[in-house]
Structure 1
Amino acid sequence: MLKAFFNWKVWVNILLAIGVFIGLVWLTFRWLEYHTDHGKETQVPDVTNLSVQKAVEVLDNTGLAYEIDSFNFDPKYKPFQVLQIYPTPGSRVKGGSPIRLKVNPRTWAPVAIPDIIDSYKYRAYSKLNLVGLKVGDTIYEPSISKDAVLKLLYNGHPVKPGDLVPRFASIDLVIGQGPKRNVPIPNVVGRTLAEAKEIIKQNYFELGIVYDENEQPVSDPSLIIFYQNPSAGSISDQGIQIDLWASNKTPAEMHNKIKDLDSQYRRNYAPDPSYYHSEPDFSSSFDDFEEPKHVEAPKPVERKKVTPVKKAEPEKKNTEKPVEKPKEKKKVIIE
């Protein structure tokens, strides 16, 4: 075994294999140097503060590749001005390495309108200011949603949340002015359910529950309304719910059901049935009507001038004491 290992033919094969391996490694590195231009580097030129067109020309002349990226717009610099370059100017790079240029864009990037529909108006103002938009005109429209944003307008045209507009653009807001007070309830009796819904919506009321003659909820738009609560013409505030009763029959055919509903919802309201079927009688004469007698207005009473009577001044009482006479001195006679 050892004799076979020390045979000269074995050593020749080992040496040949080592030589082939070293040759392949040397050829590989030579190929890499040729393919990657190893040892050939180019200095990065300083193109900051140049326009992007001039910077590209300089990089093309030096044989360097480039990539252009944009910053957020800065009004302190000119549009399309090169603000940064990477790698830094003066560093050495290979010819195939790209140079990244950071350029100031022409103007502000467009801004997406935030979702402020149905938001309170002051909260909507804050959201618009946060994204760099201005609040334009505020237009109030009838709506039960008081101070809520209903629509958005830009240059007079409707826009929706998510649309892109220029930064610092003015957005007009359509805001609800709130429900009105003491408004008559619209009459929807005799209308189809679809028509009644539209009338209630146009008058800024809310649709309540829709029942059939068996007090079961229904939603067929072709049904005819034969009863409503509150009643038509009653005074209420906008935004309240109006409950409806609908059927395939006409209101005249539902007379008994209407009487039952009146007994539930309008106990204090009992109109004369002839009111709905008879016409007002204007044939009565007014011959017996007596005109009021003309009464003369009383003449104004002349007021006599009264001279004020001066009151007598009370006599002043003499509070001074009378002067006493001096007493006579007693005389003493000595005999």
Structure 2
Amino acid sequence: MGFTTFIKSKQFIFSLIGAVVIIGLLVFGSLQFLSIYTRHGKEIKVPDLKKMKVESAMNAVAGNGFEIVIIDTVDYNPDFPSLTISEQDPKADAGVKEGRKIYVKINAKGYSSVRLPNLDGRTLRHATSIIESLGLVKGETKYEPDFAKDVVLRIEQDGRILRAGDKVLKNSKINFILGDGMLGYKPEIDSLGEMYEDVAPKIDSIF
């Protein structure tokens, strides 16, 4: 039987149809398997875990098969209770597959402390930028007699003089004692009246 005759035969046509059907069934079965394996279309919303203790959060997600992973403890944020979840990824209400890991960050127990650098002799502007970079807050400013103006003479907190190396809590206020720039200042005579008052006695003594 020639090739042309064979491809026109019923045997070849039935074989071809059978092969197409088998391939179609294999493709369909593979897609169904992948759909089941990946739980296609079956996403679960992530609960809001913020302000929850880790133990409570674990109990809240246990039914969905989620796993909580603590990745860091962040600086204390007064908007969240101590040692509770302050950040989470994925975020609340995000749609994820069952069994997904939820990464969380824990709010610190309280404000951490920082060591003060030497601020004496620095300008108020420079000293303010330094303490703010450390997480501290500028408090009151008071002036005392000094040759320089707006230069730090000392710093205080709650009436206590602070020195370089002292530890203070973040977010606490630092008060500045500054020079007023008036020490040794002598006003110049700037009016004819003042000049006359100084010269007049000498003129009267001539007559």
TM-score normalised over the length of structure 1: 0.33
Higher-RCO chain (CA-CA 8 Å, sequence separation at least 6): 2
1 or 2, which has the higher strand percentage? 2
Greater Rg, structure 1 or structure 2? Answer: 1
TM-score normalised over the length of structure 2: 0.48
1 or 2, which has the higher helix percentage? 2
